[in-house]
Amino acid sequence: MKVLFATSELADLVKTGGLGEVSAGLPRALRQHGADVRVLLPGYPAVLAKCRELRVVGSLPGRASIPPCRIGAVRLADGLAVYVVLAPSLYERRGSPYCRPDGAEWADNDLRFGRLGLAAAQLAQGRGGLGWQPDVLHVNDWHAGLAPAYLRWEGAAVPSVLTVHNIAHQGVFSAEHRHALGIPEHAFDMNGLEFHGQISFLKAGLYYADHVCTVSPSYAREVTTPALGGGLHGLTTGLAERRQLSGIANGIDESWDPCRDPHLPMAFDAADLRGKWAAAEVVRTGLCLAPSDGPLFGVVSRLVPQKGLDIVAAAAAGIVRDGGQIAILGLGDPATEQMLNKLARSYRDNIAVLVGFNEPMARRIIGGSDFCLMPSRYEPCGLTQMQAQRYGTLPIAHATGGLADTIEDGETGFLFSDLSPGGLVAACERAFAVFADKAQLAGMRRAAMSRRFGWERRAAAYARIYRRLTGKPIAEPAAPERRPAERLEPVLAAA
């Protein structure tokens, strides 16, 4: 089974959040099934800087105003093959993959990601001179959402799968951009990629892909609702009715293991938590929090409205009053950063905010905290709650999406439904009660740490979809996980 996996991020090379980690984890797990998976991503400066061995192996024509590109190839240390779209005029600039250094979105994001989608569709048809053609094209999020559409418009037979990591991000551009992207007029239609008079890259993917996945079973149901479907619930409901919509929870990779995480000051496991206390000490000292015997609440998150940091801020006084401390690490909206910085200034001894992202500090906060706060308004899957459980840190999370699917309320964490400061405070009170009962705390920590969130079974679920679309065999996993406690089977979302 040959799979081309098109994505805007790959954690080894460039990452702004969960997409990069999933793009690093899933292809590798699929390779364990014997699949020949190759990742395709744009040649951002960070990618080129880390791929000194990159060889130019092919070239692809443009379309309308999308410029031609060359394709670079590199094999990462573990053998994962990566193709890089080389289009210097689109990608080689300072800033993030999506935004200028001042935070504004790149004005030509339609062309930048149109180029990614077009390259994916062209390579999927065996073009470019690589001497390799996939059996299936797997694209991720709106960034590569045009690829299934180009395939369809070009009459290609290669099946495509779209994974939606967050339906709120849709890649919507004004209608005139369709000419620059070479979109045929018939496709600018409700039955196509037209979205309220504009064009939507994500809708293109949803409409033209042969199968659509979301990153948890609950989210697969949620995207069919008006509340969380981002205006596309009619389309997703139709997909569910035709059994073309699956929810497969994300996994976390094996580096999330407190026994062998080099970023922790000392290794630990469920039987000996001294390394956990050492990590807490490093976090308190590093972030200038006062010494304390109370619980440490960690937050590692993009600082965006989705993540409910305003709810954390509103609940913070209560947490501190009850003897807790809060350590926050993240990067995002200037307004959210300012709000949190102000909060930290009001509670200097007990609340610390580190604006930025730093993998070692993320792991120390996740490892050293007693609880981790995730009052996300919605959460397609979420990785932090799984990472936290592996490290014996009990998540306190809104019962939504993948959070509801991967946390066992009262066993490995705390779920709450009332998304308000009062709801979070009530959940934190349950956590304080457990913290005061050392036997119960130890039991929950053990239960959380025994959870496995590996990619094996998730990859098997994707492999079944590829098999169904291509008719080609792909091996079952070599070593199935022993404890299938969580709900992650690819349930087809009910209409």
Residue whose CB is less far from ligand ADP, 1 or 352: 352
By the rule CB under 6 A, 302 interacts with ligand ADP:
yes
Instruction: Kindly state the smallest distance separating residue 164's Cβ from ligand ADP, in Å.
Output: 12
Find the shortest distance in angstroms from Cβ 300 to ligand ADP.
5
How far apart are alpha carbons 449 and 326 in whole angstroms?
A: 22
Chain centroid offset of residue 310 CA: 21
Of the residues 32, 357, 429, 461, which one makes contact with ligand ADP according to CB under 6 A? 357
Least distance CB 127 / ligand ADP (angstroms): 32
Q: Which residue is nearest to ligand ADP (CB)?
A: 18
> Among residues 21 and 135, whose Cβ is nearest to ligand ADP?
21
Of residues 73 and 299, the one with the C-beta less far from ligand ADP: 299
Nearest distance, CB of residue 49 and ligand ADP, angstroms: 17
Determine the Cα–Cα distance for residues 372 and 326; give it in Å rounded to an integer: 9
Among 85, 137, 235, 331, binds ligand ADP (CB under 6 A): 331
Nearest distance, CB of residue 110 and ligand ADP, angstroms:
23
Number of residues that bind ligand ADP (CB under 6 A): 17
Residue from 330, 367, 368, 421 in contact with ligand ADP (CB under 6 A) = 330
Judged by CB under 6 A, which stretch of 206-214, 311-319, 375-383, 455-463 contacts ligand ADP? 375-383
Query: What CA dihedral angle connects 343, 315, 16 and 413, to 10 degrees?
Result: 140
The nearest distance, CB 135 to ligand ADP, in angstroms, is 28
Which residue type, as a one-letter code, is found at position 384?
T
362, 399, 404, 431: residue in contact with ligand ADP (rule CB under 6 A)? 362
- The owner of tokens 């630990």 is 268
Q: Which is nearer to ligand ADP, 115 or 307 (CB)?
A: 307
Instruction: Give the one residue of 118, 381, 447, 448 binding ligand ADP; rule: CB under 6 A.
Output: 381
Within positions 153 to 172, which residues make up the interface with ligand ADP, using CB under 6 A?
A: none
Distance in Å, CB of 242 to ligand ADP, minimum: 28
* Residue among 219, 248, 265 at smallest CA distance from 457: 248
Q: What pairs with residue 6 in β-bridges?
A: 40, 139
Answer for which of 382, 395, 413, 421 binds ligand ADP (CB under 6 A) is 382
Which of these ranges, 93-101, 123-131, 170-178, 298-306, lies near ligand ADP under the rule CB under 6 A?
Answer: 298-306
Do residues 299 and 372 lie in contact, with contact meaning Cβ atoms separated by under 8 Å?
Answer: yes
Among 383, 441, 444, 447, binds ligand ADP (CB under 6 A): 383
Q: Minimal distance in Å, beta carbon 215 to ligand ADP?
A: 8
Q: Contacts from 408-412 at CB under 8 Å and sequence distance 24+? A: 408/447, 408/485, 411/444, 411/447, 411/448, 412/444, 412/447, 412/448, 412/451
| The amino acid at 359 | E
Cβ-based nearer residue to ligand ADP, 17 or 159? 17
9 to 38: interface string for ligand ADP, x by CB under 6 A: ------xxxxx-x-----------------
d(CA 217, CA 487): 8
Which residues here bind ligand ADP, judged by CB under 6 A?
Answer: 15-19, 21, 300-302, 330-331, 357, 362, 381-384
